[in-house]
Each structure stands twice: as structure tokens, then as C-alpha cells.
Structure 1
Amino acid sequence: MKYLRQFGIILAVTCIGELFKYFIELPIPSSIYGLVLMLTLLKTGLIKVERVKDTGVFLIDIMPLMFIPAGVGLLLSWKQLKNMLLPVCVITIITTILVMIVSGKVTDYMIKRRKPNE
């Protein structure tokens, strides 16, 4: 029952994110609205982490399963993709490196910023 309640909370926040997407006409996916809303609710303490933690851990554990349909879609559209395989691979490698660099720099900044306060 605990998992159903936790999943219900996550689902409710996700649905509110969908409503935000409907009423706020910006080119932002509804999942981003839901994530920002969940972060806000967790940071303000309106939702305690313990109330969604177990289901959140479960959803993260099964996340690889969520990529199976996307992988099958890639296999089904191989004829269209093979013509642009080289540019897609180059772009993927470059953006992955850029994301790693930026993530590392932001993490370094946050660690240095936090140490004097501890």
C-alpha cells in the first residue's frame, strides 16, 4: 500500500505538470514542469522525501527498461538513420564530452562553494 501511495503522489505531481503545460504555453515539456514542481515541493518540505523515496528508487532501478521501446524504434527506422549515421555519431560524441565537462565544472564549483560553510 505504501508503494501505491508514493506512486500516487508522483503521478499527481506529473499530472499537475501536464496541466502546467496546457495552461502555460511555452515550448517546455510537461515532464520538466513536473520535475521542477516536485523539486520545489521537496525543497519546501510540502512533500517529505520519505513519502516518495522508495517508489523513486524503484523507478530509477527499472529505468533501463524504459529505453527498450526507443531502441526498438531505432532498429525499425534503421534505413533512414544509416544515411546520417556519421553526423549523428559525431554530434553525440561532441555533446557527450561537452555535457561531461560542464557537469564536472558545475560539480567542482558546488563542492568548493559548500566547503567553507561546513
Structure 2
Amino acid sequence: MLAAIATLLVFQCLGEGLSYLFSLPVPGPVIGMLLLAGYCALRPAAAIALEPTALELLRHLSLLFVPAGVGIMVSAHALRGDVLAVVLSVAVSTTLAIIVTALVMRAMLRGRRRVAHEHGDRA
């Protein structure tokens, strides 16, 4: 588990470094996650090794939102003039995330059916 956590942190640090080095508008953890996804695609054994630790972290993901929630409550006074913009951006981004997820899921199911049909399996 320690090696898997170290691997996750290395990719996050790589992402942070690239984001800082090239002044990218994308957060470092997002870049690190993309690098990790590419690494796991190239080395499936790495994905298998990371899976138990990743699932354990996901099980406790809600705890990671506590500091963010506290930060929002502490700086709520700074958001007073921008409440409409914040609410609108949350609503739009949530809607877009749901739409993109549905489209990706539909594409994956079509691909799965196509593969199953080619192999004579039932999906």
C-alpha cells in the first residue's frame, strides 16, 4: 500500500511541477492524473498494483471534502458578491459532467456490444 501511495504522490508532484514549470492553466493534480492514466495504459500491471489502494482511498473520499468545505465557509464573506456566478458555474459544470458521462457510457456500451457480437458472446 505504501508503494502505491508513493506512486500516486509521485505523479501528483510531476503534474504540479509541469503545471508550475510551463505556467499551465490546468491544475497540477489533473496533469498528474492524466500522466498516471497514460502510465497505467502502457503498463497494465501498474494499474493492477494501484487498484486496491485507489479503491481504499475512494472509500474515504468524503473525508477529503471536509477541508474544502471548511475553507469555503471561512471565506464565504468573499463570495457574497459572486454567489450567482458560483451557483451558475456549479450548475453548468455539473450538467456538463453528467452529459459527458452519459455519452462516454453510451459509447462504451456500444463498443462492448460490438465486441461481444464479433466474438459471439452475449453482453
Partner of 2:40: 42
Identity of aligned residues (%): 27
Deviation of residue 104 (structure 1)? Answer: 0.9
Partner of 2:112: 114
For residue 102 of structure 1, what is the amino acid of its counterpart?
V
For residue 116 of structure 1, what is the amino acid of its counterpart?
R
Deviation of residue 28 (structure 1)? Answer: 2.1
Alpha-carbon spacing, 1:98–1:21, altered in 2? closer, same or farther (3 Å) = closer
Partner of 1:78: 76
- Unaligned 5+ segments in structure 1 are none
For residue 66 of structure 2, what is the amino acid of its counterpart?
I
Alpha-carbon spacing, 1:23–1:102, altered in 2? closer, same or farther (3 Å) = same
TM-score using structure 1 length: 0.78
After alignment, is 52-61 or 73-82 more displaced? 73-82
For residue 95 of structure 1, what is the amino acid of its counterpart?
S
The root-mean-square deviation of aligned C-alpha atoms, in Å, is: 2.2
Partner of 1:92: 90
TM-score using structure 2 length: 0.76
Partner of 1:13: 11
**Stretches of 4+ aligned residues off by more than 6 angstroms:** none
Assess if the C-alpha contact under 8 Å between 1:18 and 1:33 holds in 2: yes
After alignment, is 101-110 or 66-75 more displaced? 101-110
For residue 115 of structure 1, what is the amino acid of its counterpart?
R
Separation in 2, partners of 1:53, 1:75: 34
